[in-house]
Amino acid sequence: MYRLNVWLPAFLVIGALFSTQTCRAQRSLETALREHVHILTSDSLAGRSVGTEGEKKAANYISRCLESYRLEFIYPKGIQDFGVIGSQGDTLSSQNIVGIISGSDPILREEYIVIGAHYDHLGSRKITVNGRDSLALYPGADDNASGVAILLEMAKAAAQQPYLFKRSLVFVAFGAEEMGMIGSWYFVHRAFSSINQVVMMLNLDMLGRSGSRNPFSAYTVAPHDGLSHILHATLGLPAAFQPVVRSTDYFPSDHIIFYQNHIPVVLFTSGIHSDYHTFGDKPHFLDYKEMEQRMTYLYSLLMLLANHDDLPRIQNIDQKEVENPLETVYSWTNVDRAPRFQRGDEKHFQQSWVNKYVRYPTRAIAQGIQGRVMVQFVIEANGAVTNVEVIESVDPLLDDEAVRVISASPRWTPGRKNGKPVRVRCAVPVYFMLTRR
């Protein structure tokens, strides 16, 4: 039985502070979210690629905002520097930005809830148009300026009412997520001394799109009845504000690092779309009114989590070792080293293989059938892909094509546990989207 003994605001009217140099007052939350996104996607930040001046400018902007909201810093300006090995073997510099709001309860304040969102993106790329070379930027409006914008406004709202939160809150903008969640790994394993007192991690990643193709969703990575109950317990809000709660994972992001360290996590997202990791992920495609509603839900949920008498802890989900470990199928998050596809992760597999070789069935196009097919499969200890099956169906025409393209995958570098290659279960979305002409 979970006792819900905290006041939940049905609607929030929250101001915002920012500009390209400092944070200034705004007229509405929707306007604040919009301007955060526009600043983070501006040409001067050049796509916020890891180790670039653009990423550093984004980090400094986030730092100034958190400082103006009067969050506590345990690092100068809240900036936590770390090194990243680049693709050419050179060392790049990246940063996490960390701000803390101390809890009001003398006992529960020693426990922490982490609210995270990565702010880095893909940078730029030279392209040829009409025989002329030009530099094209990856704006990364949804991925993940949208999540950072919501994180900043949650931090501002919480800082204005710190007495409403018994547990301490840690707001983190992670760097180097696009290079394999390096910022969150550094935070968990090297930089946050109280990591054992973190009782929950909420990851905000791609929260700007709306409509039936991009529902507001919450992923708990593994079945977790207590956590799912709490996610449904923000009773003061309209039903339209509530996310769809799923007891699976969706895509690898910073929450995985926390989950691997036995910390309960929830990934909040509105999902991948056709502009994901393209030049078309621009600010005008985001639904800022929906973002405002999502921020309202997340703030109420954060208040509930921070005041709940007995937060559910993560269950021991480790799959039992059997006499022959090759018969065990491990989850993606439960191995020492995850499988790799051509030196990349699940996102790389989706971009370089699935999106490249999937074929939209002609009959499905003629009938206007579209949507997302979720496909689960096993990466064997020898790297082969087996046991391909649809776990979220759209239509047999699309389901069959999704299974076909993943079944044809080249071998992976297998995952490893205790130094040995093992079987690992994976799931990826396959998108079929029609465009208007």
157, 99 Cβ separation under 8 angstroms = no
Mark whether 290 and 362 lie in a shared domain: no
Domain that holds residue 81: 17-307
| Band of pLDDT at residue 179, cut at 50, 70 and 90 | confident
Mean pLDDT (whole number) for 326-337: 76
Mark whether 294 and 180 lie in a shared domain: yes
Amino acid residing at 57: K
Q: Is 162 within the bounds of a domain?
A: yes
CATH code where residue 384 lies: 3.30.2420
Q: Is 8 within the bounds of a domain?
A: no
Mark whether 369 and 410 lie in a shared domain: yes
Mark whether 126 and 183 lie in a shared domain: yes
- For the chain, what is the mean pLDDT? 86
The separation between CA 311 and the C-alpha centre of its own chain, rounded to angstroms, equals: 22
- DSSP three-state, residue 66: helix
Mark whether 292 and 332 lie in a shared domain: no
Mark whether 301 and 419 lie in a shared domain: no
Separation of alpha carbons 311 and 305, rounded Å: 7
Residue 327 is predicted with a pLDDT of 64
User: Which of these, 160, 237, 296, 233, lies nearest to 5 by C-alpha position?
Assistant: 233
How is residue 256 written in tokens?
């995985």
From 307, 338, 366, the end of a domain falls on 307
Q: Is 323 within the bounds of a domain?
A: no
Q: Is 91 within the bounds of a domain?
A: yes
How is residue 291 written in tokens?
């973002």
Q: How many domains does the chain have?
A: 2
pLDDT tens string 59-84: 999 999 999 999 999 999 999 999 98
Mark whether 150 and 31 lie in a shared domain: yes
Amino acid residing at 222: A
Amino acid residing at 352: S
User: Which of these, 32, 260, 264, 43, lies nearest to 148 by C-alpha position?
Assistant: 32
How is residue 46 written in tokens?
């050049």
Mark whether 363 and 302 lie in a shared domain: no
Q: Is 100 within the bounds of a domain?
A: yes
Residue 169's DSSP bridge partners are 101, 113
User: Which of these, 430, 428, 323, lies nearest to 378 by C-alpha position?
Assistant: 428
Q: What is the pTM of this model?
A: 0.72
Mark whether 269 and 399 lie in a shared domain: no
Q: Is 320 within the bounds of a domain?
A: no
- When mean pLDDT is compared across 223-227, 249-253, 293-297, 354-358, the lowest value belongs to 223-227
155 pLDDT above the threshold of 70: yes
From 252, 274, 307, the end of a domain falls on 307
2 pLDDT above the threshold of 50: no
pLDDT tens string 359-399: 999 898 988 888 888 888 999 998 889 989 888 788 899 99
pLDDT tens string 29-50: 999 999 999 999 999 999 999 9
Mark whether 393 and 279 lie in a shared domain: no
Mark whether 249 and 398 lie in a shared domain: no
CATH code where residue 139 lies: 3.40.630.10
pLDDT tens string 302-322: 999 999 988 877 654 443 333
Distances from the Cα of 171 to the Cαs of 17, 18, 27, 151, 193, in angstroms?
16, 17, 24, 7, 15
